[in-house]
Structure 1
Amino acid sequence: MKATRALALTAGALAVGHSLPALTSLGPLRPLLAPRLSGPGDPGHVALTFDDGPDPASTPLFLAELAKTGTKATFFLLGRMLQRTPELGRELVDAGHEVAVHGWEHRPLLIRSPRATRDDVARARDLVASITGQQPRWYRPPYGVLSASALYAAKENGLTPVLWTHWGQDWTASATPESVLRTLTRAPLAGGTVLLHDSDCTSAPQSWRATLGALPRLLELCAARGLEVGPLRDHGI
């Protein structure tokens, strides 16, 4: 009985340790638990980031919109999406954008084993580097939920985890350009890291259209406020 109880306590402690970093996914707690994880940076700069691509149905439209103002961004790529369209990953880098790692599969890390998590991160990181020729610096976990294994895997692969300070809730079926912009600007943008999506592969079908519609308005707003918009590499973190 004692041995069984000890094993149960050990298993419980390991489970808690594995899931404890997930608390940083809670916006109000993140500044207290890990103030740098959200990506606060230069107060005169806004880091523009996109998740879940590259997607041939939508990413080229985002590239075209960004090119109108010469704006650069950081794209957190999924390995399985990059594997399907490697030429689009190279196009991102050729256009001057920064590429980063979002994992291979967009699956919750809390239900994945440490080995599966390490393989997911390493496989995605290696593919991003080999296809684009750019060594990724950043890692963002699926759903913004970290685990102890994910933190270890990121460190092992030379990646810095970063989440966001602002999001547009642009993955929902009800999202509109107006709702995305309104959600993004509930708090001052200065020094923030913005999360948007250039693909609907894990979101409501066609939800990226709301994001694309909000993008020029977001860039205009930042310009009017004297804020430079760019990738994480220029954000001072």
Structure 2
Amino acid sequence: MVRHPGTVGVGALAAAAAWHIGPAATWLPPVRKILSPSLDGRGSPDHVALTFDDGPDPDSTPHFLRVLAEHRVRATFFLVGESLTRHPDLGRALVAAGHEVAVHGWHHDRPWYPAPLRDVREVRRAADAVRRICGTDPQWYRPPYGILTGGRLTAARRARLRTVLWSSWGQDWTEHADARSVTASVLRDLTGGGTVLLHDADRWSAPHAWRATLEALPALLAECRRLGLRVGPLCEHDVERG
């Protein structure tokens, strides 16, 4: 059978597109819960992993440090590389307070087009910044907006990072979010062994959206205690290997 050159070209483009965008289906919680419990952040049934994205930010991150210290809770902070290099003292403060730091990419952009070489370069650059500034070796990667692509998945593997998304979130980035809505959104899907996604910065959210998250945090921690669930970083969560 002889294939027309145009057919081969279209097939190659289709395969490249599928490789690029196929993993993005894991953004849907039912998909990743079934296909990859580790990507869903499922861990020890008596533990909840508390994670924050989009920092560090000098206007907001210190407030989360204070509240977490008051409640004697540690968390995992997924840091944006370019923000970390602008505010290195905050990265070091997170580690000094006992929190885990992880990689949220170098920029916080959406992957409209395939760019595998750039993905590898920027994830590695962000991981190197965490090592250099924070003095710790990052173990985790979460892509910006939670959108995973073939290039980003490969980049994380080459940087020896484990990719993890979440099983419960606060939907705390909108202008309509308040403490009540954030709390309700998290508790709707919160179970033992889950990973919670919140944000400690609003650079890519509605202005001051982080205030709703901060206000909701004590109630969320109290509810976890009432349910007999320990709260801590991903490094203590025993994420399932899927």
User: What TM-score do you get using the length of structure 2 for normalisation?
Assistant: 0.95
Equivalent in the alignment of 2:136: 134
Report how far residue 29 of structure 1 moved: 1.2
Corresponding residue pairs, total: 237
Q: Which amino acid aligns with 2:225?
A: A
Q: What's the CA shift string for 1:139-181, capped at 9, x where partnerless?
A: 0001111111111111111100000000000000000000000
Take 2:122 and 2:74, find their aligned partners in 1: how far apart are those partners? 27
Contact 2:105 2:144 in 1 (8 A): yes
Report how far residue 32 of structure 1 moved: 2.2
Q: Which amino acid aligns with 2:215?
A: G
Take 2:191 and 2:46, find their aligned partners in 1: how far apart are those partners? 9
Equivalent in the alignment of 2:75: 73
> 74, 90, 93: which one pairs with 1:91?
93
> 121, 124, 128: which one pairs with 1:122?
124
> 153, 165, 185: which one pairs with 1:183?
185
Q: What's the CA shift string for 1:103-151, capped at 9, x where partnerless?
A: 0111112424111111121110110111000100000001111111111
Q: Which amino acid aligns with 1:88?
A: L
Contact 2:168 2:190 in 1 (8 A): no
Take 2:60 and 2:16, find their aligned partners in 1: how far apart are those partners? 41
Contact 2:167 2:190 in 1 (8 A): no
Contact 1:102 1:142 in 2 (8 A): yes
Take 1:208 and 1:11, find their aligned partners in 2: how far apart are those partners? 41
Q: What's the CA shift string for 1:8-33, capped at 9, x where partnerless?
A: 21111111112111110111211222
Take 2:170 and 2:109, find their aligned partners in 1: how far apart are those partners? 21
Equivalent in the alignment of 1:172: 174
Q: Unaligned regions of 5+ residues in structure 2, if any?
A: none
Q: Unaligned regions of 5+ residues in structure 1, if any?
A: none
Take 2:8 and 2:225, find their aligned partners in 1: how far apart are those partners? 60
1:49 partnered with 2:42: no
Q: Which amino acid aligns with 2:96?
A: D
Q: Which amino acid aligns with 2:191?
A: L
Q: Secondary structure at 1:196's aligned position in 2?
A: strand
Q: Secondary structure at 1:24's aligned position in 2?
A: helix
The alignment yields a C-alpha RMSD, in angstroms, of: 1.1
Q: Which amino acid aligns with 2:206?
A: A
- After the TM superposition, list the runs of 4 or more consecutive aligned residues in structure 1 that deviate by more than 4 angstroms: none
Take 2:93 and 2:234, find their aligned partners in 1: how far apart are those partners? 18
Instruction: Please list, as runs of the form range in 1=range in 2, the aligned pairs for 1:196-235 lying within 5 A after superposition.
Output: 196-235=198-237
Take 2:190 and 2:197, find their aligned partners in 1: how far apart are those partners? 14
Equivalent in the alignment of 1:39: 41
Contact 2:167 2:189 in 1 (8 A): no
Take 1:219 and 1:147, find their aligned partners in 2: how far apart are those partners? 33
Q: What's the CA shift string for 1:88-116, capped at 9, x where partnerless?
A: 00000000000000001111124241111
Report how far residue 80 of structure 1 moved: 1.0
Take 1:4 and 1:46, find their aligned partners in 2: how far apart are those partners? 52
Q: Which amino acid aligns with 1:93?
A: V
User: What TM-score do you get using the length of structure 1 for normalisation?
Assistant: 0.97
